[in-house]
């Protein structure tokens, strides 16, 4: 029996959008944790990763303040709040789908939530799959900055040299956005592309996304960065080399947005069950740049 549900769930006091889709009953639960922070991805996962619905009950969660879950933050928000939201979501899903654990796919910011969740609740995670995996954000930000410096023209180079890539100054938000635009412009984020136009198309064509949702998506992304980025910069998993669930990293060979070289260095030091896959025609978005290979790899976890 086909499952196709779009819900607004009350998650720790905040209405949050969740899509649940599957082509058969009793398929293992897979939760997709989008990037950003605040960069909801429901139309993209629907477009590029629909094949996963053949083998999994695919749950796409638009996190608090993001996309169709947008609202104006009225107080502090922290990474722990999002991890707790994820726990509440998992606690809701497991009994309803008669499962004891979930597969987690975490991308970029979502990979911070994913590994933090594995640290806290390993018994609830069957397998964790990280792509665009964040390991040490200070090191990754420095690497992205150096990539931008190496590729910049004379005008941009002058501006870049005035930027503190630890993002601690009063101008940190504009500096961060400028460096990110430089990485994208020089094909270090979306493979073979100098902009994100291709990633906008599924949003524009989605029957689930209204014009108001598109506006909320933009607002939610900027808001989340403003509220969360300073804490994101403190993220560092390097001291943890053992996990209570299997770990898989799927990394774009040319990811200079969140350094895949750092992810591989860290992966090599993990001492528990693990797998690593290089995607040779990807940067920061292997799940969409090489979606067929990504989908097959994930589905093959069940064979």
pLDDT in tens, 171-210: 999 999 999 999 999 999 999 999 999 999 999 999 999 9
Which pLDDT band, with edges at 50, 70 and 90, does 77 fall under?
A: very high
Which residue carries 């136009």 as its tokens? Answer: 197
pLDDT at 88 over 70: yes
**What percentage of the chain carries pLDDT values higher than 90?**
99
Q: Judging by beta carbons within 10 Å of its beta carbon (0-12, 13-18, 19+), is residue 253 exposed, middle or buried?
A: middle
60-81 mean pLDDT: 97
Around Cβ 157, how many Cβ atoms within 10 Å? 14
Stated length of the chain: 303
Calpha distance 183→178 (Å, rounded): 9
What is the rounded end-to-end Cα distance, in angstroms, of the chain? 21
258-262 mean pLDDT: 98
Q: Which two tokens stand for residue 266?
A: 């860290």
Q: What is the pLDDT of residue 230?
A: 98
CATH level 3 topology of 3-135+193-223+236-302:
Rossmann fold (3.40.50)
Residues 92-125: pLDDT tens digits?
999 999 999 999 999 999 999 999 999 999 999 9
Q: What is the pLDDT of residue 303?
A: 73
**Strand pairing category for 125-131 and 247-252:** parallel
Q: What is the DSSP string of the chain?
A: --EEEEEEEEETTEEEEEEEEESSTTPPEEEEE--TTT---HHHHHHHSGGGGGTSEEEEEE-TTSGGG-----S---HHHHHHHHHHHHHHHHHHTT-S-EEEEEETHHHHHHHHHHHH-GGGEEEEEEES--SBHHHHHHHHHHHHHHH--HHHHHHHTT--TT--STTHHHHHHHHHHHHHHTTSSSTT-SSSHHHHHHHHH-TT--HHHHHHHHHHHHHHHHHHHHHHTT-B-TT----SS-EEEEEETT-TTTTHHHHHHHHHH--SSEEEEEETT-SS-HHHHTHHHHHHHHHGGG-
Which pLDDT band, with edges at 50, 70 and 90, does 281 fall under?
A: very high
- Phi, psi dihedral angles at 247 (to 5 degrees): -115, 130
pLDDT at 290 over 80: yes
Instruction: State the average pLDDT for the chain.
Output: 97
Whole-model pTM: value is: 0.97
Q: What is the pLDDT of residue 170?
A: 96
**What percentage of the chain carries pLDDT values higher than 70?**
100
Is residue 128 within 8 A of residue 247, CB to CB? The reply is: yes
139-157 mean pLDDT: 97
- Phi, psi dihedral angles at 50 (to 5 degrees): -60, -30
Q: What is the pLDDT of residue 1?
A: 65
């Amino acid at each position: 029996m086909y499952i196709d549900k779009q819900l607004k769930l009350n998650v720790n006091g905040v209405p949050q959008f969740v899509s649940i889709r599957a082509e058969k009953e009793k398929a293992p639960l897979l939760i997709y944790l989008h990037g950003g922070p605040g960069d909801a991805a429901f139309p993209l996962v629907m477009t590029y990763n629909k094949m996963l619905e053949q083998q999994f009950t695919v749950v796409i969660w638009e996190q608090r303040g993001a996309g169709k879950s947008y609202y104006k933050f009225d107080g502090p928000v922290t990474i722990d709040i999002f991890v707790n939201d994820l726990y509440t979501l998992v606690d809701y899903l497991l009994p309803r789908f008669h499962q004891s654990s979930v597969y987690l796919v975490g991308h970029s910011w979502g990979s911070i939530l994913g590994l933090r969740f594995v640290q806290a609740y390993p018994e609830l995670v069957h397998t964790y799959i990280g792509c665009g995996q964040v390991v040490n954000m200070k090191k990754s930000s420095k690497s992205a900055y150096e990539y931008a410096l190496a590729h910049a023209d004379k005008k941009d180079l002058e501006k870049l040299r005035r930027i503190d890539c630890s993002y601690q100054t009063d101008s940190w938000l504009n500096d961060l956005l400028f460096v990110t635009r430089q990485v994208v412009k020089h094909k270090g984020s979306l493979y073979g592309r100098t902009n994100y136009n291709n990633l906008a198309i599924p949003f524009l064509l989605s029957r689930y996304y209204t014009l108001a949702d598109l506006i909320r998506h933009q607002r939610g992304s900027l808001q989340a960065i403003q509220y969360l980025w300073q804490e994101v910069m403190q993220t560092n998993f390097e001291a943890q080399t053992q996990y209570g669930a299997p770990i898989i990293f799927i990394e774009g060979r040319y990811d200079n947005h969140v350094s895949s070289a750092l992810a591989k260095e860290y992966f090599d030091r993990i001492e528990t069950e693990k797998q690593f896959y290089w995607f040779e025609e990807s940067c920061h978005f292997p799940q969409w740049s090489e979606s067929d290979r990504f989908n097959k790899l994930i589905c093959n976890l069940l064979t």
